[in-house]
Amino acid sequence: MKVLTLGCAGFIGSHLTGRLLSEGHTVTGVDIYQDKIMEFLGHKCFRFIRQDIRKPGLNLAELTEDADLVIDLIAYANPGLYIKIPLEVFRLNFVENLKIAEACVRHKKRLIQFSTCEVYGKTVVSIMKEDLVNPEDPRYATFSEDSSDFILGHLGKHRWIYASAKQLLERVIHAYGLEYNFNYTIIRPFNFIGPKIDYLPEETDGIPRVFSFFMDALISGRPMKLVNGGLHRRCYTYINDAIECIRRIIENPEGVCNKQVFNIGTPDNEVSIRGLAELMRDIYAEKFPKPGQRLPDIVEVSADDFYGEGYEDSDRRIPDISKARKLLGWEPEWKLKDLLEKTMQYYVTEYMDYYRSQGRSDISTHDIVHKAMEVIP
């Protein structure tokens, strides 16, 4: 199969590119960076186009027409940017992505569109807690693709522009399916974690995902900061489990994924952000101790101080994955502690081994983690 992957060099895209190539597909990948896909650049079945889709020069029509399948991963998925540049977040996540969808409509190509679990917004508990008999009942926080309503914050909480842009894109794609019989599949990821998840804070604009901040704190000794006490809860999914589900969606046996939306997540891996910080600190102390190194403190900060004015977050979100189980026979396998250990090992160990192989015994663990996502010469 000839696959056009837009956003091929991001966290999910880089892992998916490797899986597609390993299974014999021909991949044309488009991205503005190449750091995470260096190992694939010489592959005979991989064509890489380094291009920003917002700038002239990319022949989207030609690339779409030549593909059997289009996978769109392009997005700003960086909470700090939702606050800092909300209009650009909207333009990329809706306007530019809509161009890709419409190219697929014109050329009658199947589209796999990556969305976000953030479209679900907040739980009913966040607005009706006092009126509920048991606010902790997981039913209130379990989101189903085809029946759950969306609850987003008010206009002043402009952090929700990301979720709104993604939701609107989903609705327009759905409308094309109704009016033009357009074939699509929408994926809503629930907090994927794994190697290459992010650049660490010193190497990126905005504010990356929580794992990267906690990992950086563990290496550097700086405090592990909990926004508003770290009470919000998430369900974390290892990237290998996610890629396996995506692979089955790509294969689309007997067309079961046509015009469908899929949650991809691990319901059993729910943890509060505070619990995540504590678990990562325990794992680091057990698996990656450095003589004399003091473990970082866990401190509380306000959302306004950490992100800026206009931030709000979903309180809890658990994926209902019954559709993926039924239609694809997929089941996530990785438990929370195991996936954290594996991901932390990537940052601490793999690049340390590389520099040691180059005779660089002077490189510290801290140096390695901050070089982990750079291009290795």
**Which residues are annotated as catalytic?**
162
Q: What is d(CA 174, CA 184) in angstroms, rounded to the nearest whole number?
A: 8
Q: What is d(CA 217, CA 334) in angstroms, rounded to the nearest whole number?
A: 24
The answer for residues whose C-beta is within 8 angstroms of residue 368's C-beta and 6 or more apart is 347, 348, 351, 352, 355
CA distances from 287 to 178, 347, 348, 363 (A): 52, 13, 10, 19
Other Cβ atoms within 10 Å of 55 Cβ, number: 8
CA distances from 324 to 14, 206, 207, 263 (A): 23, 33, 31, 7
Residue with tokens 């939701």: 167
2 DSSP β-pair partners:
26
Of 18, 262, 250, nearest in space to 111 by CA: 250
Q: Which amino acid is located at 373 in the chain?
A: M
CA distances from 6 to 28, 58, 104 (A): 8, 11, 13
The angle at the Cα of 116, spanning 182 to 107, to the nearest 5 degrees, equals 20
